Amino acid sequence: MRDYLIAPSILSADFARLGEEVKAALDADADVVHFDVMDNHYVPNLTVGPLVCEALRKHGIDAPIDVHLMVRPVDRLVHDFAAAGATFISFHPEASEHVDRTIGLIRDLGCRPGLALNPATPLEALDYTLDKLDLVLVMSVNPGFGGQAFIDSSLQKVSAIRARIDALGATSAREIRLEVDGGVKPANIGEIARAGADMFVAGSAIFHSDDYPRTIAEMRNNIAAAVR
Ligand code: DX5
Ligand code: ZN
């Protein structure tokens, strides 16, 4: 896989043309499809479920699908999304009664587990879990909606998690991706990369732009300039 992954969030796509929108974003050199699942319970919004994930697979989407579960309870939907073709499945620790069990379930079902940390979730959520994860998803907005402003304190959090992942790196054979989700734009993606992120969710910045390839190229250029 590439060093830096761009993950367009379908939340800001035109849902009436979802298959074409996802193909267009991937053709524009995106790496991963970020798939936001909201239940009007854990977060105050309602989006899409496993049927839509499966429909994207049947439509020929073979890129990794990064399912971000903003739902409570978590475990039953893990089964459904694994069967629907998810690659990564992330969940919020506050939404699961047994975080370690949910991580194990995702892994056992053949998917790559991720833990999603809200802006106010302390890093202790990674104690005893980090070495079992393939992904840490740092929310840089409060979950529930696209188009919100990036919360600057997320940068410190990203740096702190980067240090923990790197410290583990010497002993861990697996890669652990550090993803930032919320308010990511071409203008701030460089400093987010410099803080240590290597996977970037962008919903409105990509799907509300009028030229997906240009926007994604600008993001990649700004990352490259920042980490040089
Ligand atoms: C918010 C979602 C995000 C959202 C990001 O709860 O998790 O993935 O789509 O949207 P933007 O990039 O517009 O902030
Ligand atoms: Zn998300």
Across 140-155, average pLDDT:
98
Q: Which of 181, 185, 212, 215 to mutate to test the pocket of ligand 1 (most atoms within 8 A of CB)?
A: 181
pLDDT attached to residue 1? 79
Residue 96 in 3-state DSSP?
coil
Q: Give yes or no for residue 44 CB within 6 A of ligand 1.
A: no
Establish whether residue 90 lines the binding site of ligand 1, counting it when its CB lies within 6 angstroms of any ligand atom.
no
- Confidence label for 169 from pLDDT (cuts 50, 70 and 90): confident
Question: Which of the listed residues 5, 12, 38 should we mutate to test ligand 1's pocket, taking the one with most ligand atoms within 8 A of CB?
Answer: 12
SS3 42: coil
Across the chain, mean pLDDT equals 97
| Distance of alpha carbon 64 from the chain centroid | 11
The yes-or-no verdict on residue 172 having pLDDT over 70 is: no
Q: Enumerate the active-site residues.
A: 36, 181
**Cα gap 225→228, rounded to integer Å:** 6
Centroid of ligand 2 to alpha carbon of 142 (angstroms) = 10
Question: Which one-letter DSSP state was computed for residue 202?
Answer: E
CA distance 173 to 58: 33
> Is the C-beta atom of 31 inside 6 A of ligand 1?
no
Assess contact for 195 and 162: CB atoms under 8 A: yes
User: Which atom in ligand 1 lies closest to the alpha carbon of residue 202?
Assistant: 12
CA–centroid distance, residue 10 to ligand 1 (Å): 9
> 113 CA distance to ligand 2 centroid (A)?
14
Q: pLDDT at residue 170 above 70? A: no
pTM of the model: 0.98
Say how many CA atoms lie within 13 Å of 29 toward its Cβ: 13
Percent of the chain with pLDDT over 90: 96
Cβ contact 218:26 at 8 Å:
no
Q: Does 218 have pLDDT greater than 70?
A: yes
Structure confidence by residue, pLDDT tens digits, 2-25: 899 999 999 999 999 999 999 999
